[in-house]
């Protein structure tokens, strides 16, 4: 029998081998924050280029997360064809747990164990690109990983594609699986109010019970991914997740809808494509304390990147897209900011507007704030402020409007009591 010391050595060795294999990946990742539209030429053309170009690209599409898997496949296939990919080079990998009611003669729920099919693994391995559709990320993890946490033959094949220089992409749930630490569900307010949940065994995590953290696949080595980020106001849940997972890294990447974070494996570099942007959240200097059992998180560092911007993972250096100029000291706006409510659950000014036009590109203020009510008289205040080394870059694009790059803002999330007093006695 193996003694405990030898077992510990072997475990450490296997972990190091796994990390080395990940580090040696030669391919690229196209991680989309959901809501990918067919006319998003920037994202689709880069995806197809990474796959070898429209004449040579071969796609394996895995609809495992979808509630209507066949519809998800057909939709994505038709978009690829519209960009010139050959129909014969787009392969369905039939792995799913939900039946698609649009296919009367097929029960897609019977595909749930197909991750173990060596023939499907061979199909995947022969492709230059693998795409994961949206839906529920837990379904993908259940169908592509074994009960002991190991990889099915199909997942092993996906890793082979990535390591050999292919591209792995996904949208929404297909983005969530990319990092080793996976956010499985929850809202910002639920995360702040109830904290982290790790052991939920059901199929549909209640969004109001906290933030569910589980294991992802781990293609993306730079940090934790969150998706639908600005549209669904997920800054709070990413912050809570990062503060609970600091031992595994300090960076979180919030990808908005119809936008892609592109990871260039060989260069260990990130670039942005699409119509919105990506928040990079760094908690290396952040702290968390408890006030009446609610978290107060201080000194989160925040940067915001848009189309054409890039980020060097090793150095942390942000390079703005060509044409963007620094406007620090030459801000376009000069307006007092009076504050607003609701940024953790949506508001009139979007989070993008808060960190760009309201703060970074505004000479009149160094701080903006927002309050979200969690109950009558209580809530969370988000404080955003300029650090000593913040930067803001700007370019006006005739097709896309204002384009920004903002680095090194600071953010606090503070539990507060709120008292509202009428200005007269009519109530």
Mean pLDDT of the 62-86 span: 97
Q: Is the pLDDT of residue 10 over 80?
A: no
Instruction: Give residue 367's pLDDT.
Output: 96
Q: Let me know: does 306 contact 230? Beta carbons within 8 Å.
A: no
Helix (H) or strand (E) holding 71: helix 69-82
CA separation for the pair 194, 210 (Å, rounded): 5
Helix 69-82 vs helix 41-50: crossing angle, to nearest 10: 90
Tokens coding 421: 């007093």
Helix/strand/coil percentages in the chain, nearest 5 = 30, 30, 40
Neighbour count for residue 52 (Cβ, 10 Å): 18
Q: What is the pLDDT of residue 24?
A: 52
Helix (H) or strand (E) holding 271: strand 269-274
Instruction: Say whether pLDDT at 338 is over 80.
Output: no
Give residue 377's pLDDT: 86
Most confident segment among 25-34, 99-108, 155-164: 155-164
Q: What is the pLDDT of residue 347?
A: 47
Query: Mean pLDDT across the chain, nearest whole number?
Result: 91
Chain-centre distance for alpha carbon 342: 22
DSSP three-state, residue 5: helix
Q: How far apart are CA 322 and CA 52, in angstroms?
A: 25
Per the confidence metrics, is the pTM higher than 0.85?
A: yes
Where are the domains positioned within the chain?
26-282
Cα–chain center distance at 95? 23
Contact 380, 236 (CB under 8 A): yes
Asked if 62 and 133 touch (Cβ cutoff 8 Å), the reply is yes
235 pLDDT exceeds 60? Answer: yes
Instruction: Give DSSP secondary structure letters for 281-298.
Output: EE-TT-EEEEETTEEEEE
- The arithmetic mean of pLDDT across residues 206-228, rounded, is 96
pLDDT of 369 reads 93
| Mean pLDDT value of segment 135-148 | 95
Q: Does domain 26-282 have CATH number 3.40.50.720?
A: no
- Give the percent of the chain with pLDDT over 70: 92
- Rounded to an integer, the average pLDDT of 255-269 is 97
Cβ(133)–Cβ(71) below 8 Å: no
* Confidence check: pLDDT of 1 > 60: no
Dump pLDDT digits (tens) for 247-256: 888 999 999 9
Which letter, b or e, does each residue of 103-114 get, where b requires 16 or more Cβ atoms within 10 Å of its Cβ? Answer: eeeeebeebeeb
Q: What is the mean pLDDT of residues 9-37?
A: 65
Question: Considering only 234-238, 243-247, 311-315, which range has the smallest mean pLDDT?
Answer: 243-247
pLDDT digits (tens, 9 = 90+) for 378-388: 999 999 999 99
What average pLDDT score do residues 191-200 get? 93
Where residue 390 falls (left for φ over 0; alpha for ψ -120 to 50; beta otherwise) is beta
Q: What's the pLDDT at 146? A: 96
- Model pLDDT, residue 339: 76
C-alpha closest to that of 360 among 294, 406, 399: 406
pLDDT of residue 11: 37
């Amino acid at each position: 029998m193996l003694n405990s010391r030898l077992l510990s050595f072997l475990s450490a060795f296997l972990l190091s081998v796994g990390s080395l294999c990940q580090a040696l990946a030669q391919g690229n990742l196209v991680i989309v924050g959901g809501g990918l539209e067919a006319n998003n030429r920037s994202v689709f053309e880069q995806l197809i280029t990474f796959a070898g170009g429209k004449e040579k690209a071969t796609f394996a599409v895995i609809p495992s997360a979808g509630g209507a898997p066949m519809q998800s496949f057909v939709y994505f296939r038709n978009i690829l064809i519209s960009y010139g990919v050959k129909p014969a080079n787009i392969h369905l990998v039939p792995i799913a747990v939900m039946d698609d009611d649009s296919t009367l003669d097929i029960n897609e729920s019977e595909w749930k164990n197909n991750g173990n099919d060596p023939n499907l693994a061979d199909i995947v391995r022969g492709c230059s690109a693998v795409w994961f559709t949206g839906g529920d990320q837990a379904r993908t993890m259940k169908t592509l990983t074994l009960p002991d946490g190991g990889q099915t033959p199909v997942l092993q094949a996906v890793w082979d594609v990535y390591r050999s220089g292919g591209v792995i992409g996904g949208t929404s749930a297909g983005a969530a699986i990319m990092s080793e630490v996976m956010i499985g569900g929850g809202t910002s307010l639920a995360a702040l109010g109830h904290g982290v949940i790790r052991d939920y065994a059901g199929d549909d995590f209640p969004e109001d019970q906290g933030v569910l953290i589980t294991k992802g696949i781990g293609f993306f080595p730079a940090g934790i991914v969150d998706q639908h980020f600005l549209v669904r106001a997920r800054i709070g849940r990413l912050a809570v997740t990062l503060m609970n997972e600091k031992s595994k890294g300090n960076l979180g990447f919030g990808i908005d809808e119809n936008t892609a974070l592109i990871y260039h494996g060989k260069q260990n570099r990130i670039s942005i494509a699409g119509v919105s942007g990506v928040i990079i959240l760094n908690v290396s200097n952040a702290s968390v304390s408890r006030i009446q059992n609610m978290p107060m998180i201080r000194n989160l560092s925040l940067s915001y990147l848009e189309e054409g911007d890039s980020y060097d993972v090793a150095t942390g250096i942000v390079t703005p897209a060509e044409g963007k100029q620094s406007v620090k000291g030459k801000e376009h706006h000069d307006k007092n900011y009076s504050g607003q409510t609701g940024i953790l659950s949506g508001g009139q000014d979007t989070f993008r507007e808060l960190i760009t036009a309201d703060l970074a590109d505004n000479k009149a203020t160094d701080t903006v704030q927002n309050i979200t009510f969690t109950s009558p008289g209580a809530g969370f205040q988000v404080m955003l402020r300029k650090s000593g080394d913040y930067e803001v870059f700007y370019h006006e694009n005739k097709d896309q409007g204002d384009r920004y790059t903002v680095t090194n803002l600071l953010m606090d999330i503070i539990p507060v009591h709120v008292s509202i007093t009428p200005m007269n006695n009519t109530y």
